């Protein structure tokens, strides 16, 4: 088995950053690795590989560039991840250098009517079940899904928008949407969905994770539920932390996202929710879309952004303690998926990145390694680059 000794490193651990060494034998971090190959880290950060919770496409080169070694794959695939065969294939296709943790569909075809065979899909490798891009409108079906998932010790990953209000909307009701003439839905659509699903999770005792919460009202509902002891967590993307609906002002379809960008007040509430710990997970929501889907009128374009490569750098720009950032990027998403990883401690998987947080670069869509470069941050100067990446002790080459 390969033995590695990382020296001259600033190691990111749950309690902070400590200078020292880290040892690996095979695919695990160990206390000591005699006769190991030495890797000089040059004083740079040695951090956990990212666990990106809720990607819509497998994009190996983009993941490698972004320091991502594990992904929670959304069920919105073709075909939908609603059967054991497709779930098993999805879980095996990336190994050994990329581990894909399928999020199985909670209902057949993601139609929100009949429950999928969660137990069989768990046996095939599913690490959670989800509602995909949509909300389950039938409260009875959602309650059954939560109860079934609870009995299987699986988290339900939910989309938080009441479809009765959102309809075909592509924007949040605001002055911007009115001026552009875009079909829009009130921001309260999120709070209504969050409130109902929290109530059902509290009633059933299930674990519930909202892939994204993006409004002040939604954050307050999650805060209150956590205080009551409800097993609820939530995530967000950098786009909803750094951009408001003003980014859509020129009909720029790269800013057409799901959920849509919110008001400046909601954006500030999101930053506060990161600061106080209400938001548990920072995810990319990686959803690359080519010109045939984006070079259309705003209302006709497909929502989504290519964001795996920018997740880490934009996260570093949030000015959080580095251990808190990597809790949101690795420890907490792994916990939602029931995977024991994300901490650089003996016994943990040797999923590591060597990171230069000061390396400057400019986000350029046309230069992205992803299958499409549809980023709302095109042209933005930023800092933070992955220098080297290891999955299970094996280096992933560029």
Candidates 66, 68, 43, 25; CA nearest to 391 is 68
pLDDT of residue 398: 65
pLDDT of residue 189: 98
CA distances from 89 to 21, 57, 168, 364, 392 (A): 37, 14, 33, 33, 20
pLDDT of residue 225: 98
Exposed/middle/buried for residue 3 (C-beta within 10 Å: 0-12, 13-18, 19+): middle
259: preceding bond cis by omega (within 30 degrees): yes
Sign of the C-alpha dihedral, residues 166, 194, 276, 331? negative
pLDDT of residue 90: 96
Taking the chain (398 residues) in consecutive chunks of 10 residues, what is each chunk's mean pLDDT? Answer: 95 95 97 94 97 96 97 97 97 93 98 98 98 97 98 98 95 95 97 98 98 98 98 98 94 94 98 98 96 94 96 96 98 98 97 97 95 95 97 90
Residues 109 and 129: their CA atoms lie apart, in Å, by 13
The answer to whether the beta carbons of residues 214 and 240 sit under 8 Å apart is: yes
pLDDT of residue 27: 96
Residues 186 and 78: their CA atoms lie apart, in Å, by 31
Residues 280 and 326: their CA atoms lie apart, in Å, by 11
Candidates 193, 65, 69, 220; CA nearest to 137 is 193
CA distances from 81 to 102, 138, 240 (A): 8, 21, 27
Exposed/middle/buried for residue 358 (C-beta within 10 Å: 0-12, 13-18, 19+): exposed
Candidates 323, 222, 284; CA nearest to 72 is 284
pLDDT of residue 104: 98
The answer to whether the beta carbons of residues 47 and 355 sit under 8 Å apart is: yes
The answer to whether the beta carbons of residues 303 and 170 sit under 8 Å apart is: yes
Domains of the chain: 49-342+360-378 (3.20.20.140)
Q: Which two tokens stand for residue 265?
A: 């007040």
Phi, psi of 325 (to 5 degrees): -60, -45
Predicted TM-score of the model (pTM): 0.96
Query: E strand or H helix at 51, and its extent?
Result: strand 50-55
What are the residues facing 128 on neighbouring strands?
103
pLDDT of residue 372: 94
pLDDT of residue 291: 93
């Amino acid at each position: 088995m390969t033995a590695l000794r990382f020296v001259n490193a600033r190691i990111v651990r749950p309690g902070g950053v400590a200078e020292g060494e880290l040892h690996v034998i095979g695919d695990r971090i160990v206390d000591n690795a005699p006769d190991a190959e030495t890797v000089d880290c040059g004083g740079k950060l040695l951090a956990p590989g990212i666990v990106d919770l809720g990607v819509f496409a497998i994009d190996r080169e983009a993941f490698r560039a972004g320091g991502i070694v594990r992904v929670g794959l959304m069920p919105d695939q073709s075909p939908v991840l609603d059967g054991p065969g497709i779930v098993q294939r999805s879980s095996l296709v990336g190994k050994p250098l990329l581990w894909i943790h399928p999020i199985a569909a909670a209902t057949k075809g993601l139609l929100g009517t009949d429950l999928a065979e969660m137990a069989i899909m768990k046996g095939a490798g599913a690490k959670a079940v989800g509602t995909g891009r949509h909300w389950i409108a039938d409260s009875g079906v959602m309650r059954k899904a939560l109860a079934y998932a609870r009995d299987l010790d699986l988290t339900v990953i939910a989309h938080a928008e009441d479809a009765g209000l959102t309809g075909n909307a592509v924007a949040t009701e605001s002055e911007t949407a009115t001026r552009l003439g875009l079909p829009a839905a009130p921001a309260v659509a999120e709070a209504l969905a969050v409130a109902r699903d929290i109530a059902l999770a509290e009633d059933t005792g299930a674990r519930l994770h909202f892939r994204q919460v993006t409004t002040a009202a939604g954050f307050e509902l999650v805060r209150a539920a956590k205080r009551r002891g409800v097993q609820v967590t939530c995530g967000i993307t950098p786009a909803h932390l750094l951009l408001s609906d003003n980014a859509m002002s020129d009909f720029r379809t790269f800013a057409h996202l799901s959920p849509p960008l919110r008001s400046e007040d909601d954006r500030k509430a999101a930053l506060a929710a990161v600061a106080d710990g209400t938001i548990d997970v920072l995810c990319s929501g990686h959803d690359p879309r080519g010109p045939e889907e984006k070079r259309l009128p705003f209302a006709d374009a497909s929502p989504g952004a290519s964001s795996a490569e920018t997740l880490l750098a934009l996260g570093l720009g949030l000015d959080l303690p580095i251990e808190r950032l990597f809790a949101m990027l690795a420890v907490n998403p792994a916990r939602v998926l029931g995977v024991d990883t994300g901490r650089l401690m003996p016994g943990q998987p040797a999923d590591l990145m060597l990171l230069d947080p000061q390396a400057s670069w400019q986000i350029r869509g046309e230069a992205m390694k992803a299958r499409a470069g549809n980023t709302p941050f095109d042209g933005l100067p930023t800092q933070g680059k992955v220098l080297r990446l290891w999955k299970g002790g094996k280096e992933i080459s560029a």
